[in-house]
Amino acid sequence: MAHITETLVLYGMFVIVGLAAGSLGPAIPAFAELTGETISRVGMLFVFYRCGYMAGSLGGGRVLDRLKGGRIMGFVLFSIALMLFLLSFAANLCLLFAFVLFLGLGLGLGEVGGQRGIIRLHGMNVGPYMNGLHLSYCIGAVISPLVIAAFLQANTGLAAAFRILAALAALAGFVTLRLLRGGAAPRGEAPVLRASPFLVFFFAAMILFSGGTESGFSGWIYSYALRTGLAGESLSGILTAVFWGAMTFGRVAGIYLVRRFGSRRLLLLSSAGAVFSLAGLVFFPSSTAGLWISTLLVGLFQASIIPVTFTLAGEQRIVSGFVAGIFVAASSFGGMVFSPLAGYLMQSLGLFTFPLLGFATQILTFISFLAILWVAKR
């Protein structure tokens, strides 16, 4: 029963992480109005957010190796609540960027704590629970824009929306402190082993390239469909929703599939399927049907790659807090690099570079997976 409670607490924490992370994009126009700046200048907040996220991931991993995770996670959620609350008062760019930087710091530490906690809690049986953890993040990321849109439409303002999110994060922090005081208690799994640097490198590379694919595709599929003429504005929006819907369904299905096939087989199927899906956009660039089918398949196959990669690393018994921090930082760095790169290449070289970049990064993901198998076997 204790393990069920602790698992649900970690899931709730990841819902909050998703809520906070998903709130920034929809809030940019309102932030621009609040600060009196242009949208392009306010959009620079993502640089500060990613920097904070990576710093929280790398530094937080070492903290979690030394202190009790449950108490730390409670205070992390309170810090997230504080930053969300302060964002409602960000009247200039300096304050906005500072609050976003510290929000990213807390979210990075929170993600590392969740990943490490679920592995400690369930050991070699972590697969379905890891997919459930990432599904919880998706739920938060889907709900957050809806909350902000509802408050803006009701003319209650951005400040009220962020204060509601802050209250939810504070409530989650209180529950975490009460129910996860000593951290997730391990279920008798073998101790963490000292990892081969090559094994950690290839795991991190796989997460980096997969995270880059996910960020670049989700960020630019709307513009690609619109600018190629394959879809209008409304259909391009629906296409983006299809991608996220497929990702969510894929995470739900992954809870069963990782138990049915095991982490290695599911990663082989997912990474190879993602390569195949993006190949459809490369070889059939003018096909409307190909665009929709490829988008749907990319979402389905991409959904399980990062959570199951963490699962496989947990099964290899190499996920200390520090190593988990490296993995989360790699995912964040991939999103920070490949999404702007996709936009730059589309603008400077042409629209054909969008599917090519996704295809290339997914091939690198697949190669990294094969390298993991080779190093682990040796």
**Model pLDDT, residue 29:** 77
CB under 8 Å, gap of 24 or more: what pairs does 314-317 form? 314/119, 314/123, 314/124, 314/126, 314/130, 315/124, 315/126, 315/263, 316/193, 316/195, 316/199, 316/376, 317/189, 317/190, 317/191, 317/192, 317/193
Residue 271 lies inside a defined structural domain of this protein: yes
For position 231, what pLDDT does the model report?
A: 82
Task: Give a yes or no: residue 245 inside a domain.
Answer: yes
Give the per-residue pLDDT at 189.
47
C-alpha closest to that of 210 among 54, 358, 320: 358
> Quick one: 114 and 222 in the same domain?
no
pLDDT recorded at residue 86? 93
Cα–Cα dist 21/255, whole Å:
23
Overall number of domains in the chain: 2
Q: Is residue 47 part of a domain?
A: yes
Do residues 173 and 227 both lie within one domain?
Answer: no
Q: What is the residue range of 218's domain?
A: 197-377
Tokens of 237: 């929006």
Residue 214 lies in a domain: yes
From 134, 150, 179, the end of a domain falls on 179
Q: What is the pLDDT of residue 117?
A: 82
Q: How many CB atoms lie within 10 A of CB 138?
A: 21
Please tell me the distance from the alpha carbon of residue 11 to that of residue 33, in angstroms, as a whole number: 34
Same domain, residue pair 150 and 272: no
Do 203 and 86 share a structural domain?
no
Whether 6 and 180 have beta carbons less than 8 Å apart is answered as yes
Let me know whether 79 and 128 are in one domain: yes
Question: Which of the listed residues 153, 179, 205 is the one where a domain comes to its end?
Answer: 179
Domain presence at residue 12: yes
Radius of gyration over every alpha carbon of the chain, rounded to an integer in angstroms: 20
* 301: CATH: 1.20.1250.20
Which one-letter amino acid corresponds to residue 288?
A: T
Q: Do 100 and 222 fall into the same domain?
A: no
* Residues 241, 143 share a domain: no
Spatial neighbors of 4 by CB under 8 A, at least 6 apart, are none
Non-local (6+) Cβ contacts of 187 within 8 A are: 3, 121, 122, 123, 125
Are both 128 and 203 inside the same structural domain? no
Kindly state whether residues 232 and 360 are assigned to the same domain. Answer: yes
Pair 214, 142 in one domain: no
- Rounded CA-CA distance 207/310 in Å is 9
Q: Which residues 6+ apart lie within 8 Å of 329 measured at CB? A: 53, 54, 57, 58, 108
Give the sign of the dihedral formed by CA 222, CA 228, CA 234, CA 235. negative
Residues 269 and 352 in one domain: yes
- pLDDT value at residue 365: 93
- Contact yes or no for 261/255 (Cβ under 8 A): no
Take residue 74 and report the two structure tokens written for it.
């409670």
In angstroms, the CA 276 to CA 294 distance is 9
Q: What is the pLDDT along the chain (378 residues), one digit of tens a residue?
A: 457 788 888 889 999 998 888 788 777 777 888 888 777 778 788 788 888 888 888 776 666 666 655 678 888 899 999 999 999 888 888 899 999 999 999 998 888 888 888 877 877 777 788 888 888 888 888 788 778 777 777 666 778 889 999 999 999 999 888 876 554 444 444 455 566 788 889 999 999 999 888 888 877 787 788 888 888 767 777 787 788 788 888 888 888 888 888 889 999 999 999 999 999 888 888 888 888 999 899 989 998 898 889 888 878 777 777 787 888 888 888 877 887 788 788 878 888 888 899 899 999 999 999 999 988 777
- Is the residue at 191 inside a domain? no
Would you say 372 and 206 are in contact if contact means Cβ atoms under 8 Å apart? yes
CB atoms within 10 A of CB 317: 17
| Structural domain includes residue 192 | no
The Cα–Cα gap between 21 and 15 comes to 10
- Residue ending a domain, among 179, 207, 225, is 179
Q: Are residues 89 and 171 in the same domain?
A: yes
H runs (alpha helix) in 123-157: 127-153
Count other Cβ atoms within 10 Å, centred on residue 132. Answer: 20
Q: Where are the alpha helices (DSSP H) in 88-126?
A: 93-122
Residue 189 lies in a domain: no
In single-letter form, the type of residue at position 106 comes to G
